[in-house]
Structure 1
């Protein structure tokens, strides 16, 4: 019978990997809580119109990459390609704007895009995201960037650079679009088919095209920074002032536009030199018009998405050390039916006190049981047989040092084992 394998562009995370993911996620949760963010969880699929309206119909995400299908009721639904739209939809639907602004949300989410798979680019990928809704202040931009920086610092990530830009507001962007149309019209016949369509609808998307020819043409295009209105320019200068105030180094990169249409004003990326072509590990910025576009009142907002797979690749490449994974505290071997029952009872009593314990549930011989204890890296082992049950005395072995300690089965077993662990005594008197 044919073995069914995981779909292309997806991957399994085995226990040795999830241990590391959990360490990273704990750091992210901690930083999010330090900065006042609360966790939100949204559905994996949404009405297709949500992403068409928010992400933008001229983006590669909507035009080429979304997993969209009709459900059994004939409704068009889409697996989420990113996390912001769902969070904003939930905020509006549940009236969370009444909870006081700014509203701070964080999430861990799986996302889905039909892309050519390669290292760091999957069809199912995972993001950690922060969203801050209800503040126009450039201080918020700097705080959000600083939160991402704090996560990287706590994880010990090296070789990252922060790049920032401003892509303006709809008012100043209109003038910029005209300048781009004029520029790219001179190269229309050389642009890829997709970018030829973008020329009238959204010429700024051409700047984000991955085609080598379009990228080369775009390198000489006008810069948005030269077309900023006074308000956008003042805001961008404010962001830089706050970043400077807390010693966060950055580079202004006029070519950053991000891949989603909802961005306004500040955009930023954290770039790694250890990821090859897929160098962006975290990206975000402002989306001051998104809430209004989705049916709410005007509400300035901003956020970022941090790619979990890419971050883990960086940590692996930089050989960042992780804590040793927690293993079984005590494995209880057993010989005979009565001993198996006693082992099960003792294991259960330890687990009720949040102590990791295991016993044989495969009716194996003692040699096989001890081999299993080694495989699960049990810290201690204990063997029960008729003699131990009769005398109420047993021996616990430290699997690392080989030292043995006596234990009285007629007394509180959990308490004796805890004393043995914490004091690391050679024996327990009884």
Structure 2
């Protein structure tokens, strides 16, 4: 038996990196006052049809959808925004006194697509959503949080790219211009883009197959269709980034294809050598209409999502070693039946006192037990033998210095806690 295609086992030695990254992301969210939300891994299919969009590749080609025993159509979540907004509406978070509602999530998502490096069928996504404010400073805050996260983990080869999609009127004017521009070339575009041109022309700009078509280079820019309100909003977002000293580039071709996206859209990319052809680490944008589509009151929001797998790939590409300690506080070496019994009691007491402890479970001799302690990078080894049991004592060896002392058995917990805390005996 093997794991299904497009999935992976995260084994000890690697899982510690995931834990470190997730803890760092959680801490950054705490500093920005974003609270964690945990939503179901599966939802009613209609949620994603509404929340992601019927015309998207995700809904049309990539979702894991099935009927449950009650005949209901259920889908494993392909992204986190729709579930977060559904929970926001269902639990009436919009009625809480503290607004905007600032949420973050970390969890597995599922998409049926061709597996490749950094793109799996089950992947872990971290994302945030700020719901209930139209202030441009929230847009800047969301981008700052994302950049902060990457930088604090050590990444340097980063590029923040942003664009404005404008308000509803600006988008409508731009979409009409795109249809007019691409229509003479419709038959030259891929089958997907021929459909997109009728359903959602913005998504033509984001096509990977037609990206080198000459018409792409001359396509009308959204920035030329921004009205005064949209242009002013975009200038304020950029001004807030400037105040924080966050560098960025404006890319008029950066789009979000869903109807409810408006104003700010952004991506963060890795420019690290050897990172791969797909350079995007995360993407996000501002949206209006999504909360209403899911049955809530008129509420604007902004958010982004990042793949933890791609984050770890970027760290590897830049040669960044996470500061993960691979050691054991204490290993108990026990010799003889009475010592074995005492080792069980002592290890339990030490663990209750906060000490990380392991012992032998394979009836190895003393030499084998010391080798096991070495492999586990134990800081201290506590030796229990017949002599120690008779004297109600233990021998303690500092594995770094080689120093070995004998202590009364009832002093070992205090001794180890002091030593591990950096104190003296």
- Into which bin does the TM-score normalised by the smaller protein fall? over 0.9
**Alpha-carbon distance between aligned partners in 1 of 2:386 and 2:214, rounded to the nearest angstrom:** 80
Aligned to 1:16: 13
Q: Which 10-residue stretch deviates more, 310-319 or 255-264?
A: 255-264
Aligned to 1:348: 348
Q: Secondary structure at the match of 1:266?
A: strand
**How big is the shift at 1:321?**
3.0
Deviations 1:195-229 (A, max 9, x none): 11111111111111111467553232111111122
**Alpha-carbon distance between aligned partners in 1 of 2:228 and 2:296, rounded to the nearest angstrom:** 26
Aligned to 1:329: 329
Aligned to 1:269: 267
Aligned to 2:86: 89
**Alpha-carbon distance between aligned partners in 2 of 1:187 and 1:206, rounded to the nearest angstrom:** 12
Contact 1:192 1:214 in 2 (8 A): no
Aligned to 1:357: 357
**Alpha-carbon distance between aligned partners in 2 of 1:418 and 1:229, rounded to the nearest angstrom:** 65
Cα RMSD after superposing both structures: 1.7
Q: Secondary structure at the match of 1:43?
A: coil
**Alpha-carbon distance between aligned partners in 2 of 1:39 and 1:326, rounded to the nearest angstrom:** 28
Q: Secondary structure at the match of 1:301?
A: strand
Contact 2:200 2:257 in 1 (8 A): no
Aligned to 1:62: 59
Q: Secondary structure at the match of 1:46?
A: strand
Q: Secondary structure at the match of 1:86?
A: helix
Aligned to 1:155: 153
Contact 1:54 1:262 in 2 (8 A): no
1:171 aligns with 2:177: no
Aligned to 2:378: 378
1:156-305 correspondence runs (5 A): 156-212=154-210, 216-258=214-256, 260-274=258-272, 275-305=275-305
1:310 aligns with 2:307: no
**Alpha-carbon distance between aligned partners in 2 of 1:306 and 1:262, rounded to the nearest angstrom:** 20
Normalised by the size of structure 2, how large is the TM-score? 0.95
Q: Which 10-residue stretch deviates more, 214-223 or 304-313?
A: 214-223
**Alpha-carbon distance between aligned partners in 1 of 2:419 and 2:306, rounded to the nearest angstrom:** 43
**Alpha-carbon distance between aligned partners in 1 of 2:136 and 2:423, rounded to the nearest angstrom:** 55
1:417 aligns with 2:416: yes
**Alpha-carbon distance between aligned partners in 1 of 2:68 and 2:212, rounded to the nearest angstrom:** 37
**Alpha-carbon distance between aligned partners in 1 of 2:42 and 2:21, rounded to the nearest angstrom:** 26
**How big is the shift at 1:259?**
5.5
1:39 aligns with 2:36: yes
**How big is the shift at 1:128?**
1.2
> Aligned in 2, Cα 1:141/1:421: closer, same or farther, shift over 3 Å?
closer
Deviations 1:256-297 (A, max 9, x none): 113655422110011111222221111101012211121111
Q: Secondary structure at the match of 1:107?
A: strand
